[in-house]
Amino acid sequence: MKIAVVAPARPIDPLVGARVSAFAAIAYPQVDLYVHPQCFESDGHFAGSDQVRAAAFLEVANDPSIDAVWFARGGYGSNRILELVMPRLGDAARNKTYLGYSDMGFLLAALYARGFGRPVHGPMAVDIGRQGGDRTVARSLGWMVGRDRQGLEPSLGGRPAAAFNLTILGNLIGTPWLPDLTDHVLMIEEVSEPLYRIDRTLFQMAHATQLQGLAGVRLGAVTDVQSNDPPWGETPETMIRRWCGEMGVPFLGAAEIGHTGGNTVVPFGVA
């Protein structure tokens, strides 16, 4: 099996590429892990210019010898290449797994909306650097290699699901790249935002016409919360329960997703 790693947003350190390649070689010897050189490019904030990042993604997505595309890391940027890549995806791109989270939600959403491959929310190559990072990335590698269910979000069942970082979801609302999530369980997580901004984006989610018809909402990890002055008076669970009530959608409880080492795998659709 051949898995290609590309970086549609920010670059990774070459040490990350070496570590994740070494782990894959030992734990998954049946995998040919190809870390595209573009992952180490630098153009200001980004892993190369928009054109360079788009070209690398198209190269691996349209290559019929590659079975899965594993995103290197998040950080802002993948939305800037959607118009460059989506019209140029070929038939080979429809037969792959695409796996990542955070900013990669832009690409996962667009691929799911257009029926390309099997988008999956899950740990990325950069997560090898977390404490216990081998266990974290093993969830993604295990799913890509053999549909290993041990790394799946425990709540997954017969209903279709999708998972997003809340800020990314908010930025997708009102665009043609947000897929139809009717009858889906929507799972959301957030990182590095003050609680008032989370509340504001939940308002947007609750009143978005594109999100009517959800089967329910689950809340993942809300981490590295930035301080409010004065202090915010509600917990994330209190906020999401309130907005789900206004949305008329059941709050289904917790999901084990987020910017943590415990981030699980959520295939879009039915696992």
Answer yes or no: 102 catalytic: yes
Using CA atoms, how far apart are residues 98 and 69, in angstroms rounded to an integer?
A: 5
Q: Which of 102, 155, 190, 256 is catalytic?
A: 102
The DSSP line for 202-242 is: HHHHHT-GGGTT-SEEEEEEEESPBP-SSPP---HHHHHHH
Q: How far apart are the first and last CA of the chain?
A: 20
Sign of CA dihedral 158, 221, 254, 150: positive
CB 95: neighbour CB atoms within 10 A?
A: 12
Catalytic, 189? Answer: yes
Which residues, listed in sequence order, are joined to residue 164 by a DSSP beta bridge? Answer: 188
HSE (CB half, 13 Å, CA atoms) of 118? 15
Return the axis-axis angle of helices 14-27 and 133-146, rounded to nearest 10°. Answer: 60
Q: Which of 36, 78, 140, 189 is catalytic?
A: 189
From the list 36, 121, 184, 259, the catalytic residue is: 259
Helix (H, G, I), strand (E, B) or coil at 199: helix
Place of tokens 């016409």: 209
Identify whether 207 is a catalytic site residue: no
Side-chain-side CA neighbours of residue 120 (13 Å): 30
Query: Distance from CA of residue 95 to its chain's centroid?
Result: 18
Structure tokens at 206: 């609750």
Catalytic residues: 102, 189, 259
